Amino acid sequence: MKKCKEVRNAGFMTKRNLRDAQTEVSQLEMELQRKDKLLRGLQERKRRMDAKLIFITYIDRAVESRKKHPTRFQNKKFSSSSSVLRQRRKETFAAAQKILGGSEETEVPGAIGIVDTALVKCSHSILVDEMSVNQKFNQSVMPSIYKPKLAEFESSTENMIRSVSVYYSSGVAGKKKYRKIYKDSSYKIAMQSKGKKHVRLSINNCPIPRLVPYNKLMPFIKSIPVGSMYSVYETLCEGLDEEYKVHGCYRNLAELLIKLAEFYLSSCSGHTLVWFEEEHRPLRYIDILIIMGFL
């Protein structure tokens, strides 16, 4: 019995020692993995540092070399060849991507950063000189910015008033004359294989603002309150021979004066009352009635 007990105890001790050894081996393996991971991280860091050192060295050499041949823009032309310009654009964009957080998946941060930097840091003259000869900006970008503003202006009250001014300039234009002005001011005749065609006048794909079309202008003009109109034939020609009667319209001066007074009091006239070279406050409505003899 005693011998069996000793054997059993020896077996237990062996198992315990084996478990302890396995635990120690596991710990050593974990430590080895941790140190291996740390080693790989250090190696990767060293690789990046070496690459950065090479890149910096290359950049320094490129900077020194390009100081001798800087990019210039003279007489609306670049001094460098197209291949050199392509290479420099590529390197500039790559550097901007690194600075501004771009990646292979998205180049938007770099693009936005370059445009923003150019608009903020470049002088007005440089922007004008460069963009004025850039086909992409003139034929695509600028029209995309301009056309929504154009549509907004053409439908605005300002353009409506402008069109009314044209309609009444040098007398009433009339339907035929106004439509001719509308067409001549916004369109040109282009010769095509099928004959003549009216083409919208534009500069760099930016159309010239048009007047309000006649069929939209007249309802606006007719909606303007102009007061009461009286027939000369019906009110002033009574008792006259038919040959002396005339057709026409007139407005009552008393009513017209009231309208002018309302316009003056509305502060829309833009004029200040000057009396004996001194400015005076606007007349009150009751003052105007007294002057007219109504009170």
pLDDT tens-digit series, residues 79-133: 777 887 888 888 888 888 888 888 778 888 888 888 898 889 888 988 888 888 8
- Rounded distance between C-alpha atoms, residue 122 and residue 159, angstroms: 35
User: Please, how many CA atoms are within 13 Å of residue 12, restricted to the half-sphere of its CB?
Assistant: 6
CB-CB contact of 184 with 198 (8 Å): no
Helix axes of 253-265 and 285-292: crossing angle, nearest 10 degrees = 160
Q: How confident is the model at residue 246 (pLDDT cuts 50, 70, 90)?
A: confident
Helix (H/G/I), strand (E/B), else coil: 189: strand
Instruction: Return the closest-CA partner of residue 222 out of 176, 160, 269.
Output: 160
Mean pLDDT of the chain: 79
Residue 144's pLDDT is: 92
- Name, in order, each residue with C-beta under 8 angstroms of 170's C-beta and a sequence gap of 6 or more: none
For the record, the structure tokens of 245 come out as 């009667």
CB-CB contact of 183 with 193 (8 Å): no
Instruction: Return the closest-CA partner of residue 81 out of 91, 68, 71.
Output: 71
Query: E-assigned strands of 72-227?
Result: 73-74, 77-78, 187-192, 195-200, 202-203, 206-207
- Name, in order, each residue with C-beta under 8 angstroms of 91's C-beta and a sequence gap of 6 or more: 62
**C-alpha separations of 87 from 26, 90, 91, 94, 127 in Å:** 55, 5, 6, 11, 21
DSSP letter (8 states) at residue 205: T
Neighbours of 194 (CB within 10 A): 6
DSSP letter (8 states) at residue 139: I
Instruction: Indicate if the pLDDT at residue 288 is higher than 70.
Output: no
Look at the alpha carbons of 73, 75, 81, 85 in this order and tell me if their dihedral is positive or negative: positive
Residue 295's pLDDT is: 45
Q: How confident is the model at residue 268 (pLDDT cuts 50, 70, 90)?
A: low
Per residue in 4-48, pLDDT (tens digit) is: 666 666 666 777 777 777 888 888 888 888 888 888 888 888 888
